[in-house]
Each structure stands twice: as structure tokens, then as C-alpha cells.
Amino acid sequence: MARSNTKKNKCSRGHRSPISKKRSHSSTDFGHRNYSLYVNRVLKEVVPQRSISSRTLDIMNTLINDIFERISMEACSLMCFRNRCTLTPEDIQKAVYLLLPGKLANLADAICTTGSF
């Protein structure tokens, strides 16, 4: 019987279980970061006399985590579409251009390449 020559994607090496199953002590779900401190710092730098409520901070945190997850999933699908195992900055840049609308994508790319805001 002849072997079937099916090409497996090198990227899918299987799911490895973590060494310890301890949960983080943060208030958000496991795997999601909390950006509240950074949002507060940026707000105080831009408008020092303003403050932000905790509910608004939660909304901003959810928004940042959602955008991060969307960009990472799109970049991962682009990477696998090209049959690569390494995520490159070009994959992330293309994912940003695919997900964000025109001028916002251009602004994000300009800030990313210059490294300043």
C-alpha cells in the first residue's frame, strides 16, 4: 500500500500543557492583560486635570484586549497561509491594514515605524 503524501503544517506541534495550573491573581481572565495603569498614565500625560472612572477603565481594557486578540489571530492566519512558523513584523503590519480602517491603519503604521507618538 502506498503512503499518502499529506503535508502537515510544521506550525501545529500540538498543545502542550502548562507545568503548573495556577491562576493569576489579576482581576481579568487568564491570558488577558490589564492595561488600566497604562491608560491612566497616558490620560494624565495628555490631560493632567482629568480622571477616568473604573467602569470606563474596564471598557478601555476590554477594547485593548479585543483589538490585540483580533490582530494576533489575523497575523497568525496570514503566517499559516504563507506556510511559515515564525511571526514576522510584516504579518502584523498586514493584519493591521486588514482590520483597521484606512487612515487609522496608516496612523498606526506611521507611529509603529517611527516609534514615537
**How do the domains of the chain map onto residue ranges?**
36-114
Rounded Cα gap, residues 98 and 81, in angstroms: 15
Of the listed ranges 16-30, 67-81, 102-116, the least confidently predicted one is: 16-30
CATH 3.60.15.10 fits 36-114, yes or no: no
Rounded Cα gap, residues 26 and 5, in angstroms: 47
pLDDT in tens, 47-106: 999 999 999 999 999 999 999 999 899 999 988 888 888 888 888 888 988 888 888 888
Q: What is the pTM of this model?
A: 0.65
Banded pLDDT at 12 (limits 50, 70, 90): low
Query: Closest Cα partner for 76 from 91, 89, 97, 66?
Result: 91
pLDDT at 28: 47
Terminal Cα-to-Cα distance of the chain (whole angstroms): 62
Rounded Cα gap, residues 35 and 57, in angstroms: 8
Identify whether the C-beta of residue 11 lies closer than 8 Å to the C-beta of residue 80. yes
